[in-house]
Amino acid sequence: MAQDEDKSNLYKLKPLIDRMPAVKKPDGHVHFRRKMFWLILILITYFVMTNVTVYGLDPERSLDLFEQFRAIFAGEMGSIVHLGIMPIVNASIIMQLFQGAEIVNLDMKDPEDKAVFQNTQKFLVIIMLLIQAIPQVYGYLVPAESFVSVLGGYFSGHGLLMARALIILQIFIGGYFIFLMDEVVSKWGIGSGISLFIVAGVGQGIFTGLFNWQPAPGMAEDVPAGTIPRIIHTVRTHSAAEIAGGGLESLLIQPPNPVMGLIFTIIILLIVAYIQGSRIELPLAHGRARGARGRYPIKLIYASVIPIILAHALLANINLFSMLFYTNPTFQNFPLLGGQSWLGVFQEGTTEPISGAVWYISSPDGLQGWLLPLISERYEYLLSPEGVDWKHSKISIIGRVIGHVAFMAVMCVLFSKFWVKTTNMDAESVADQIQESGMQIPGFRRDPRVLRRVLKRYIPTVTTFSGLFIGLVGAASDLLGSVGGATGISLFLAVSILTQLYEQIGKEQMMEMHPALRDFFGEQ
């Protein structure tokens, strides 16, 4: 009985969460070719779903609340995967915070506790799907008038209510499919579906930013939006004097997709690719098989890229709810927060803050958001959404840069610590894994306590440093900017994910050739 009393309160949800739909885990080892098949199939399915529009939605009157975060959270405005991976990430944030703050009493080394943790997170995904879909449909995703009138004829004048309900249902189903596809990749493929969808979205954005021949918004009708077509168009239609007189400046720094964005994109790609290879390697030797040696790599980015995804998701949610409190009639009457300019000021028809606390921690989104206005007053218009006249002092701009960098650094450190603890990557868990594999550190007794002491010299320090490092590098890449609407952080994520995927594919191929390695890597 005492043992039952020590159980977490989350066990009360067990009868419900154990019956939730889930992707079945494979009974044994999944062949490498089959994993690649599922990986490619899910990727194709994702691209197809981004092109399936929500039936009954009026895209011209609707507003995308996640517009500035699309490159990171995947999905597509107005499609059935409108929410992208946001509900999954938000559910993960809540569970990470609860576990890190020890609000839930779960031991992640206990398989039963870990299963409860994961199933509760799945249940939270469903709740987050509704929490994020309903406010958007009731405030910013507008049903088409023809759709409302048709439904009104069937449901006695309740056409608007039914139209909103059907749009919510479509978005909910699409969001849940994204969640199930993430599970398929995690159990039957390689890596995670979340990472795959981020790379797909970023890659699509970069390709469009480089090669889009469509006219650029806010520019002459015949000027292409893509970097490369824009360069070709400028060279063909302008004289050398015109290019020197202002055309070159326009190409280099004027959005969308300036040449400087392309240059910074390449720089970010190279830096992140180099960072991914940095690691500390602890020598290991097999306790029984003489001559069998190996190394345990402790990467510089030890907590992977998940903390920066969680930090950016937190920022997106702060931006979303600040906008709701300021612009939504229902939220405007909320005590202390409703309609308060100190929290965030938003103009009608825009999703970016132009003032308030949220503005100071939001991403400047490239050089045009901070450096150009600091250099010259004629670039001040770049600080506010189109059609909004709002002035910012140079001190405010500098404060915004410092605020965004500080926010990302602190949040990434916190989420790194939580993530390492909940995924059994802390010193105690790693020591147990090495011990169970039969390996030991040469020159030390084969004792898990000794292993823990050695690993505690490295893992906690590397965890904190890696969180701080990815937060600073991610924020710095946001300050530099990129092409195709892919933010600096999304580029950082994409390169990191691709590097890890390459390593995982190499590990899978190695395990296919040497099945004995599966025990060491914890594979079936």
pLDDT at 221: 63
Distance CA 257, CA 264 (A): 11
Q: 346-350, long-range: CB within 8 Å, 24+ apart, which pairs?
A: 346/322, 347/385, 347/387, 347/388, 349/63, 349/387, 350/385, 350/388
SS3 state at 240: helix
> Strand runs (DSSP E) across 375-456, as ranges?
439-440
Residue 464's φ and ψ, nearest 5 degrees, are -65, -45
Tokens 């218009």 sit at which residue? 381
Write down the pTM of the prediction.
Answer: 0.80
pLDDT at 468: 93
Tokens of 6: 């020590």
Phi-psi region of 454 (alpha: psi -120 to 50; beta: other; left: phi over 0): alpha
The conformation of residue 515, written as its DSSP 8-state character, comes to: T
The conformation of residue 245, written as its DSSP 8-state character, comes to: I
Radius of gyration, alpha carbons of the chain: 25
Residue ranges of domains in the chain, CATH in brackets:
27-194 (1.10.3370.10), 279-482 (no CATH)
Confirm if 67 and 201 have CB atoms less than 8 A apart.
Answer: no
SS3 state at 355: strand
Tokens 């720089």 sit at which residue? 267
What is the chain's percent helix, strand, coil content, to nearest 5? 65, 5, 30
Residue 441's φ and ψ, nearest 5 degrees, are -85, 125
Q: What is the pLDDT along the chain (524 residues), one digit of tens a residue?
A: 334 556 778 888 888 888 888 888 888 888 888 999 999 999 999 999 999 999 999 988 898 888 877 877 888 899 999 999 999 989 988 887 787 767 777 887 788 888 888 899 999 999 999 999 998 898 789 999 999 999 988 888 889 999 999 999 999 999 999 999 999 999 999 888 888 898 888 888 888 888 988 887 666 667 888 889 988 988 888 887 777 776 777 788 777 788 888 888 888 888 877 877 778 887 777 666 555 566 778 888 888 778 888 898 899 889 988 998 998 888 888 888 899 999 999 987 788 899 999 999 998 878 888 888 888 777 777 777 665 667 888 999 999 999 999 999 999 999 999 888 888 888 888 888 887 777 777 777 777 788 888 888 889 999 999 899 889 988 888 888 778 767 767 777 888 888 888 888 887 877 777 665 555 555 55
Angle subtended at Cα 432 by Cα 426 and Cα 433, rounded to the nearest 5 degrees:
90
pLDDT at 522: 53
Residue type, 249: E
Q: Over the stretch 359-416, which tens digit does the pLDDT of each residue have?
A: 999 988 788 888 888 887 777 777 776 656 678 889 999 999 999 999 999 999 999 9
Query: How many residues in the chain?
Result: 524
Distance CA 519, CA 306 (A): 25
Confirm if 223 and 502 have CB atoms less than 8 A apart.
Answer: no
Tokens of 419: 């993530």
Non-local CB neighbours of 370 within 8 Å, separated by 6+ positions: 364, 397, 398, 400, 401, 479
SS3 state at 433: helix
Confirm if 47 and 80 have CB atoms less than 8 A apart.
Answer: no
Distance CA 86, CA 93 (A): 10
Please report, for residues 16, 106, 146, 373, 425, the alpha-carbon distance to residue 422 in angstroms, rounded to integers and kept in the order given.
23, 10, 49, 43, 8
H or E element at residue 125: helix 111-137
Burial of residue 74 (CB within 10 Å: 0-12, 13-18, 19+) is buried
The number of helices, as runs of H, and strands, as runs of E, in the chain is: 22, 3
